[in-house]
Chain A
Amino acid sequence: MSIESLVQEFTAAAASPKAQLKKYKDAGYKCIGVMPYYAPEELVHAAGMVPFGMWGSNKKTISKAKEYCATFYCTIAQLDVEMLLDGTCDLLDGVITPAICDTLRPMTQNIRVMMEGKLPTIFLAHPQFRRPQFGLEFCRAQYTHVKTELEKIRGSEITDEEIRNSIKVYNKSRAARREFVKLASEHCDVIDPIMRSAVLKSAWFMRKEEHTEKLEALNAELKALPAAKWNGVKIVTSGIVVDSPALLKVLKDNHVAIAADDVAHESRPIRVDASEEGDPMMALCQQFADQDFDVLLYDEASEQNRRGEFVAKLVEESGAQGLVLFMQQFCDPEEMEYPYLKKALDAHKIPFIKLGVDQQMRDFGQAATAIQAFVDVLAMQ
């Protein structure tokens, strides 16, 4: 298949999760909503179900969710509540609700209450002490709870062999996505920011086998291309979710390519793989333990600025000239880490801008002006 037609398929899946959900349900799959962050999707897959990432929506307006949320919560959480209330998610067979930030904490409760008798909700509390044995044990207990709840929905036990197989499927998917991120930068004359986003976003709404197969095909096509002739600038994106086609069009229109990302919805969760050997539940816990450099995770060496340095290095190594931070409105973990991200970027002399975004934004005029000005600065360097 051509690059164009592959990208079109990813774009269609990314743009219509509801249609994807119906497609899988019609094919006989059970489907599980997976809210941010770090839910062990492998367990859903091992149960023979299709996980559906729930990262809000660029097309909906918050209305019914007001019954539960005040205005000062991130739109991702509010729109997830909205979609659970407005029927968008009616075909789901369950939803996993992690509690790793202060918005998600109360949302786990609201969702459990409002979905009572309608949809099974699976609570997930991650440990912040991820690496010591006691942290791994706690994580295992929580993942076992998720597994048990999925088994209730499935009606039978999930075997270790099934989990091991799912780990392989997911490792393959993560590897393909990591490779795509590199190739998208190398061939940014072909893969623009809108296409890049669609490819990565669609992974949340497609069975991983299907997504990986198409992505490996796309990667092969990209690899075969001659080196890009790129006259625009390259940036690293950072933030929680950067998937608004209208916003990404601003980047495209200004000849901005994405060299790499530090985005929760894109590369942050695919940086590390799970072991394909040994106890598969522990392998998933260890994989979570190996996650690092994330605003949502506790850093045991917190007196150092490890995350800031990591992002600065990412910019340098990716060949980007600067960074655009898409600051998710009302996201206190991102906001809390901003001053030290800024410190590291300044120390490395990396130009950057911070743009406030949320998924209710429909007018990107201000963002366009800021990006345009930033591009001018980068171009002069």
Chain B
Amino acid sequence: MPKEVSPGVLALRKVVDDVYADAREAKKQGKLVGWSSSKFPCELAEAFDLNVMYPENQAAGIAAQRDGEIMCQAAEDLGFDNDICGYARISLAYAAGKRASRKIDLETGEFVIDPNSGKPLKDENGNVVIDEATGKPKKDPKTMKPYIVIDDIHEIEALPEGREKELRLNAIQPYKQMRIPQPDFVLCCNNICNCMTKWYENIARMCNIPLIMIDVPYNNTVEVNDDYVAYIRAQFDNAIHDLEKLTGKKFDQQKFDDACKHANRTAQAWLRVCDYLQYKPAPYSGFDLFNHMADVVTARGKVQAAEAFELLEKDLEKAIKEGTTTTPFPEQYRVMFEGIPCWPKLPNLFKPLKANGVNVTAVVYAPAFGFVYNSYDEMVKAYCKAPNSVCIEQGVDWREGICRENKVDGVLVHYNRSCKPWSGYMAEMQRRFTKDLGIPCAGFDGDQADPRNFNEAQYETRVQGLVEAMQANRK
């Protein structure tokens, strides 16, 4: 039976779908479309009514759709080392015009089906049907898929109008993340990592487009001091000037104020939604939060995102009253999941957790995306407090706060091959979690986008170890 989806979740999905659809439409109409890093102050772009796409969100979507590996390889073929962040590789391949595409026979116009794809065919009794000729299970033709290959949008667009062009355009993977418009400008804020700076410089170079940059240097103290505020505030002013030049429009204070209002409302509703994980048992899983991050990233400055999160809040309130949860198993243990999930391997991540009754009831994204502020300077400070831009004490404080409030029994740490700044102090953080909270931690190696860096066997062993430690801790 298909899982029932609540009105709040549906509204959140629509918000993101609309952001993508609006950008495609804007491009068709000849309007500017930009690409932005996830924690660039979106309020600035909103003040100019700009349509903006978010490569991190796009890359996560592409990875979750299982095209992360082929896109990463396409970037490697362009010369980008496989050590580079998987999101950056996917995005750079896309910026260069590479597209994951269904293999097509140009003569017949049919997709070329991969014989290794698909699920076994079952008879009316649910038994696997065996092919008499081979002695192997038959494949259900409905579940078989075409080979996925890399095509090049620039090459396709250079073709004369006609059948081949049409077929190849149509063969590009149909989901929204593989169909975003090429950028006319880029907005980069390096608060989350330095890699972002070079990533966006590369896009600007590839596409010969302007880059609007906000540099947020790494901060060694919990407080954001006045030097940081003055430096970053001046850059906001600079970015406004650049956006005026880009759009030919004057900065609209009212639109900016509205965007700030919406962004705060979204952030507050997001934080309240996150707080529902404090209930025991939780009305949903932290993995669901990962999915809703798309809204915080792509639409936090829009009123629709705030409204959708408020609707989700109502759904959760109802779930608490009715004692229901979307977690499809009884919650025996509660853990914090540290880091970005391995998007291409979500089912594999979930499997041993489900088998052991482990619910993810805390993720660090909750406080990390809750940009709440009351003034321009506070807004500047809020953008200094991104994951990876804060000192270890702040990072530990965030995490231990949600671990306590969300009553976790252990911590599962993703050593994310794609994210050096994030994984770089996790070993010390793990020690602190155990010392301060008396809870066990387990780390595993993975990657947010490149499935080649995830080892399922190691992951399962580590989860098993964590479960045993949590069990022992209860005695």
Report the Cα distance A68→B426, complex, angstroms. 8
B442 vs chain A, min Cβ distance (A): 14
Q: How many residues of A contact B (CB 8 A)?
A: 52
Cβ contact within 8 Å between A336 and B205: no
Q: B49-88 interface mask toward A, CB cutoff 8 Å, 1 = contact, 0 = none?
A: 0000000000000000000000000000011110111001
B376 on the interface (CB 8 Å rule)? no
Cβ contact within 8 Å between A105 and B421: yes
B391 vs chain A, min Cβ distance (A): 6
For window 81-131 of A, CB contacts with B under 8 Å fall at 99-103, 105-110, 112-113, 123, 125-129
Stretch from A134-142, A210-218, A228-236, A266-274 contacting the other chain = A134-142
Cβ contact within 8 Å between B78 and A339: yes
| Residues of the A chain whose Cβ atoms lie less than 8 Å from the Cβ of B235 | 129, 134
A85 vs chain B, min Cβ distance (A): 13
For window 306-346 of A, CB contacts with B under 8 Å fall at 327, 329-330, 332-333, 335-340, 342
Since A105-B424, A298-B201 are in contact, a sample of 12 more A-B pairs with Cβ atoms closer than 8 Å, ordered by chain A residue number, is A72-B417, A73-B424, A99-B218, A105-B420, A113-B428, A125-B219, A134-B238, A138-B217, A295-B198, A298-B213, A330-B83, A333-B198
Q: How many residues of B contact A (CB 8 A)?
A: 52
Report the Cα distance A172→B85, complex, angstroms. 41
Cβ contact within 8 Å between B231 and A113: no
Report the Cα distance A68→B429, complex, angstroms. 10
Cβ contact within 8 Å between B427 and A67: yes
The closest CB in chain A to the CB of B420 belongs to A102
For window 167-218 of A, CB contacts with B under 8 Å fall at none
The closest CB in chain B to the CB of A107 belongs to B424
Cβ contact within 8 Å between B427 and A134: no
Q: A138-166 interface mask toward B, CB cutoff 8 Å, 1 = contact, 0 = none?
A: 10011000000000000000000000000
| Residues of the B chain whose Cβ atoms lie less than 8 Å from the Cβ of A339 | 78-80, 202
B253 on the interface (CB 8 Å rule)? no
- Beyond A70-B423, A302-B201, is A109–B428 a contact (Cβ under 8 Å)? yes
Point out the residue from B198, B215, B427 that lies within 8 Å of A127, measured CB to CB: B215
| Residues of the B chain whose Cβ atoms lie less than 8 Å from the Cβ of A295 | 198
A254 on the interface (CB 8 Å rule)? no
Cβ contact within 8 Å between B231 and A335: no
Report the Cα distance A300→B215, complex, angstroms. 12
The winner among A107, A110, A142, A335 for most chain B CB atoms within 10 A is A335
A275 on the interface (CB 8 Å rule)? no
Cβ contact within 8 Å between B388 and A68: no
Cβ contact within 8 Å between A138 and B424: no
The winner among A112, A128, A141 for most chain B CB atoms within 10 A is A128
Cβ contact within 8 Å between A338 and B80: yes
B227 on the interface (CB 8 Å rule)? yes
Instruction: Give residues in B with beta carbon < 8 Å to A.
Output: 78-81, 83-85, 88, 190, 193-195, 197-202, 204-205, 208-211, 213, 215, 217-220, 227-228, 230-231, 234-235, 238, 388, 391-392, 415, 417, 420-428, 445
Cβ contact within 8 Å between B425 and A110: yes
| Residues of the B chain whose Cβ atoms lie less than 8 Å from the Cβ of A342 | 79
Cβ contact within 8 Å between A134 and B392: no
The closest CB in chain B to the CB of A342 belongs to B79
Report the Cα distance A135→B219, complex, angstroms. 16
Cβ contact within 8 Å between B388 and A105: yes
B86 vs chain A, min Cβ distance (A): 12
A239 vs chain B, min Cβ distance (A): 13
| Residues of the A chain whose Cβ atoms lie less than 8 Å from the Cβ of B211 | 302-303
Report the Cα distance A310→B465, complex, angstroms. 53
| Residues of the A chain whose Cβ atoms lie less than 8 Å from the Cβ of B417 | 72
A222 vs chain B, min Cβ distance (A): 38
B59 vs chain A, min Cβ distance (A): 15
Report the Cα distance A127→B190, complex, angstroms. 11
Cβ contact within 8 Å between B427 and A68: yes
Cβ contact within 8 Å between B420 and A129: no
Cβ contact within 8 Å between A127 and B202: no
The closest CB in chain B to the CB of A330 belongs to B83
A299 on the interface (CB 8 Å rule)? yes
Cβ contact within 8 Å between B208 and A68: no
| Residues of the A chain whose Cβ atoms lie less than 8 Å from the Cβ of B85 | 332
B245 vs chain A, min Cβ distance (A): 14
Cβ contact within 8 Å between A134 and B234: yes
Report the Cα distance A113→B193, complex, angstroms. 21
Point out the residue from A100, A110, A135, A303 that lies within 8 Å of B204, measured CB to CB: A303
Cβ contact within 8 Å between A141 and B227: yes
The winner among A72, A107, A126 for most chain B CB atoms within 10 A is A72
B419 vs chain A, min Cβ distance (A): 8
Cβ contact within 8 Å between A101 and B194: yes
Point out the residue from A102, A128, A132, A305 that lies within 8 Å of B421, measured CB to CB: A102
| Residues of the A chain whose Cβ atoms lie less than 8 Å from the Cβ of B218 | 99, 105, 108, 125
Report the Cα distance A340→B205, complex, angstroms. 9
Cβ contact within 8 Å between A69 and B194: no
| Residues of the B chain whose Cβ atoms lie less than 8 Å from the Cβ of A112 | 220, 392
Report the Cα distance A138→B230, complex, angstroms. 8
The closest CB in chain B to the CB of A67 belongs to B427
A233 vs chain B, min Cβ distance (A): 25
| Residues of the A chain whose Cβ atoms lie less than 8 Å from the Cβ of B227 | 137-138, 141-142
A-B contact pairs, 6 of them (CB 8 A): A110-B428, A300-B213, A302-B201, A302-B204, A305-B205, A333-B198
| Residues of the B chain whose Cβ atoms lie less than 8 Å from the Cβ of A299 | 201
Cβ contact within 8 Å between B205 and A106: no
